A and B are shown apart, each in its own frame.
Chain A
Amino acid sequence: MLRHLQALLVLLAFGAILVLGTPGLDHQDWRELDAPDERAALREAAAGRPGGPVLAALVLATADLNQHLRQPLYDLLAPVQRPFRIRQSWHLYRDGPTRVRRLEISVDGRLVHRSSDPAYAWRDAQLRNRHLRPILENVARRAESPNERGALRWIVAQARADWPAAERVEIVATIARYPGTEARPSHGWVARAPGWAPEALEEP
C-alpha cells in the first residue's frame, strides 16, 4: 500500500512541476486568443500559408488547453509556491539590451565609477553584485524607477564615506548605439552638500 502511495505522490509532484511551469505556456496570458475576433484574425492570417490552418488549429487548441485545463490546476497549486518563493516560471535569459547603457558616478567632478570600466571601478564589488545590479540596471534605463531613491541614497552615502570632504556627487546614466563608442547622457542626478538630497539633472 505504501509503495502505491509513494508512487502516487511522486506522480503528483512531477505533474505539479509540469502544470506550474509548462514550457511555452508559463508566461502566457490566460486570456490569450480568448476573444472570437482574435481567433478569427489568427485563422485568417494563417489561411494563406502552407500548413497555416493546421498550425492555427494547434495554437488555438493549446490556448484552450491552457485556459480551460491548465489554469484551474494552476490556481489550485500556485499558492503552495508562495511561502517557499518557488514560482515555476523559467524564461531566464533576456534578449539583451538594444542600446549600450552605463552608469557613471563622479565625486566633485572627478569620474570614479563607470559600468564595466576597470579604470573607474570605485565600489565595483557592490555595484556589480548580482543582488544590487538589477536595481542599478533600472536606474540606468529610466529616470524614474521603483528603487531609484534607495539606490541613489546608497551611492551618495558610500561616496561621502569614502570622500568625507566631498561637496557634490553626480550620477549620470549614458546611452549609446552599439558598440557604445559614442555615449551621451540620458538622465542623471546630483547631490550637493550639505543637504545631499539627490535632484534630477536638468541637462545631464
Chain B
Amino acid sequence: MSGPWGWWLRFTERRVDARMLGLLRILCCAAVVLDLLRVAQVGLADDLYVLYEHGGINGHPDAAAWVVRELGPHGGLWAYGATLVCLTLAGLGLVTRPALLVGVLAYAQVGHLFSPGDRGVDRILRTVLLILLFSGAHRRFALGLRLWPQARRERVAAWPADLVRWLMVMVYLSAGVSKLMDQPDWLGAPALPVVYRIMTDPMAAHLDPVALLPLRPLWILMGWATIAVELSSPLLLFRRTARWWSSCALPMHLGIALGMDLGMFSYGLMSLHVLLLWPWLSPLMDRVPALRDGGDGPAPAPGAAPTAAG
C-alpha cells in the first residue's frame, strides 16, 4: 500500500527495543512513587489527603474527588496508598497493566482531592503511564516475566514511544508559545529577567536574589535559551535530532532541579528523555549483560512471531 495511509501503516507498525519502554515505565513509576513516599516521610500524608473538615488542610477538593464521598474521610489516604502500591507494582513489572490502570485512576483521585498540589508534571506522567498501559513496556525489565512462564519480547510496537514524544512536543511547544504570546518579558531584556525572578523566588527556589542579581546578562540569555529549546521541540520527533535536542533541554531541567524546590518536576520530565537519548543509552546498556539479555525470563524462540501487544 502506498500513499499517506500506507506510510502511516508502516509508521505505526514499526518496532523498537522493548528495553526503552521498560526503562521509561520504571523511571516514570519511580518518579511518582518516590515523590509520594517523600510526602509520607515528612509526615504530610494525613494533612494533604484528608479534607479540612476532617482535620486536613485543603477545603476545596474537585467535584471529581469521589473517593471521599464513597470511602469516607480517609478515602484520600486509601487513594494515596493504592497509588503507591499499584505504581510500585507497575514499576517492578508485576501485573503491570492492571496496576497501571488502577494506579493512574487512584493517582488522579489524589490529585482531585488535593488539587493545589497536583501540578503539570503529575498530569504529564499520568498521561504517559496511560499510554504505557497500551504498550509493550511490561515485556522487559519486569519481575512478572520471571515469576510466570512468559517469554520476554526483544522488540515491541514503537507507536507508544512516538505518542509520548508527540506529547512532549505539545508540552514544550505550549510552554514556549505561551511565553511569546502572554509573557513578553521572557523575550525582552527587562531590568529583572524572568528566569532570575523565578530562580530566586524565596517561596519556590533557594538561590540568593541579592548575590545573583549582578549576573543579569546571564539570566537574560538563559531566558532566551529556554524559549529556543521549547520552540525547537519538534526536533525531538526525529531520530537524528532528538538526542541533540535532549542534550540542550536536560541542562534546563537540571538547573531547575538544583536551584528550585519543585520536587519531581525535573526528574519526572527528565525520565521521558530516555526515549530521546536511547541511541546513546542502548550501547551502554548492551555492555552490561544483565541489561542486555538477562534477568527477564526466557528469551523468545528464534523466529517467534511478534504479537499485537508487542
Binding site for B on A (CB under 8 A): 2-4, 6-7, 10-11, 13-14, 17-18, 21-24, 26-27, 82-98, 100-103, 115-117, 125-126, 128-138, 140, 146-147, 149-151, 153-154, 178-181
Contacts and interface: CB of A to CB of B under 8 A. Distances in A.
B123 A95 contact: no
A39 B113 CA distance: 41
A182 to B, nearest CB: 11
Main secondary structure of the interface of B (DSSP, over half): helix
Interface residues of B, number: 81
Contacts of B13: 3, 6-7
Nearest to B65: A85
Contact of A97 (B116, B122, B201): B201
A86 B210 contact: no
Contact of B39 (A18, A97, A131, A180): A131
A180 B119 contact: no
Interface in B164-214: 166-167, 170-171, 173-179, 181-183, 185-186, 192, 194-198, 200-206, 209-210, 213
Contacts of B59: 146-147, 149-150
B174 A95 contact: no
A21 B127 CA distance: 12
A180 B210 contact: yes
B186 to A, nearest CB: 7
Contacts of B304: none
B262 A90 contact: no
A3 B202 contact: no
A150 B56 contact: yes
B127 A88 contact: yes
Interface hub of B12, B60, B119, B183 (most chain A Cβ within 10 A) = B12
A192 to B, nearest CB: 21
A13 B105 CA distance: 19
A27 B130 CA distance: 23
Interface of B: 5, 8-9, 12-13, 35, 38-39, 42-44, 47-48, 52, 56-60, 64, 104-105, 107-108, 111-112, 114, 116-124, 126-127, 130-131, 159, 163, 166-167, 170-171, 173-179, 181-183, 185-186, 192, 194-198, 200-206, 209-210, 213, 226, 261-265, 308
A132 B56 contact: no
B105 A84 contact: yes
Contacts of B119: 92, 130, 134
Interface hub of B8, B122, B203 (most chain A Cβ within 10 A) = B203
A125 to B, nearest CB: 4
